[in-house]
Structure 1
Amino acid sequence: MNLDEHALASLTRVTRLVTLMQPLNYFVLYDDATSTSQGPARYSSLDEHLEPALVGLLFALHLPRHRQDPIDTSLEELSKARGLEQRPNIYICSVREFEEGALPVDNRTLAICPPEHLEDVKERCSTMQFLLPPLSFTELTTDVLRTVWDQIASLTVPTENLRTANQQFVPFDLSAIEVPNGFLRYQLTDQSVETTDRTAVERIEDSLHLRALISSLGALESAGATEESAARDLPKEYRKRAQSLRLPVAMAAPGVSPSEIGAVASRLGCSR
């Protein structure tokens, strides 16, 4: 293969990856007849109208973020994709805004709504050519999650290399760690998510383990390792990758920074 052919092959891989990683669009609806805004917003204040929709927001975070998620891809490609934007577009808006407002055009995937509005929202989704009919907040379970995941996969990715959905719908108090880990486990195992008997530190360690494992297996895959040589070399490669992993940590403490004390005191109308 000459230089031009190498360049073309590389460009093709990049184009394919970028195309597959275009985010899918999910709409989480809440019931607020008093809303005056025109069209959906990416963010909304947390008020009494929005509270019932939180389960729909959590459910949407479990669904495929883009069209590459359901594909049984190479570990090297999976590892490199971590450097790209991987979040889906999740729009939060009232039912009225959804029915009357202008919606984003591309990749309209699924709407999740209050059960009393399901039939009206279903008609709107059909008119706007959503990929799937809407779901109500009362039917969001692990079984439904896996069914919807498989439906999205089969309708968005014309390939035979699709994995069967094994995502676990986890509760709010575990979602910050378990949802990201779920996407990693999805590519590696049949996935079993414990819900109560593991500490936050153990869950973070699990996340680091999965990332080191993917990185190690991806390196062996790229090097053309056979099944036998990979089994032999994996422990050494894993130790090397695990030692080089870096975990960003943010720390916060109550109070006012010394450099801001004067400014804060001035705004409050008191002395330092």
Structure 2
Amino acid sequence: MRFLVACLGLLASSLLAAAELNLELPTGTRTWDSGALLAHPQARDIEIPADVAYKRAMHYRAVPLASLLDGVQAGDHLQVVALDGFAAELPAAPLLAQSGARAWLAVEDPARPWPALGTGKPSAGPFYLVWSDPQQGDIGPEQWPFQVARIRLLEPVATRFPVLLPASDASADVRAGFAQFQKNCLACHRLNGAGDSAFGPDLNLPHNPTEYFSGDFLARYIRAPQSLRNWPQGRMPGFSREALSDRQLGQLLAYLRHMAGRKVEPGR
């Protein structure tokens, strides 16, 4: 039995050691494995006081993400894709910053694996985008993708998915809500069939949530999903006022209500 346990441990370690991160950048495609990143000349130990995934202080061996983004400019747009289909859309400028809120790629060490995210769940590894001093850059929880598999340079969301755009005469709140949608929702959800995530349901087809949540229930659901639907398998996180202010939430709802009148079936 001990021999079997030891073999399973070695197998798990070898699989983690073989984990690969694929980068698709202006200078070309490159693949990093866990070992190479742990040995990166800029790798260092960091403390994250309020980790989003683990909801407590965490210690990581990490590399400044900017050091891996060869050829990326501040005006570029990147997408960070996780193993489960989560696809965070991120402007490059915060990822390249050398001060204030700073992006780090935390790398799970096979010799010191991270804890599971919950009962029956894997860890946040093998790669996890974390932030030091996130409050200095208005970094939201959806900008902390874990189980990262790929980072790629893409055109901005509005260019790739024009069916997400509000009408040209939309109000300022609706336009601001589109920005909030990109930051907080598009990593998990599509709208009008548009988006790269395969994680959550479409937010306009067949129905927009503003059409079936009455009163203030949608706002309450976004704040604390389990308070309305107590479902152990539910994966949507709640958005606190620190992550999404009441004003920003109102803008997001204004965008969703606006898009309920702009349904576009995929392929049309």
Please give the TM-score of this superposition, normalised by the length of structure 2: 0.24
Task: Flag the structure with higher helix content.
Answer: 1
Task: Flag the structure with higher strand content.
Answer: 2
Find the structure with the greater CA-based Rg: 1
Of the two structures, which has the highest relative contact order with CA contacts closer than 8 Å and spacing of 6 or more? Answer: 1
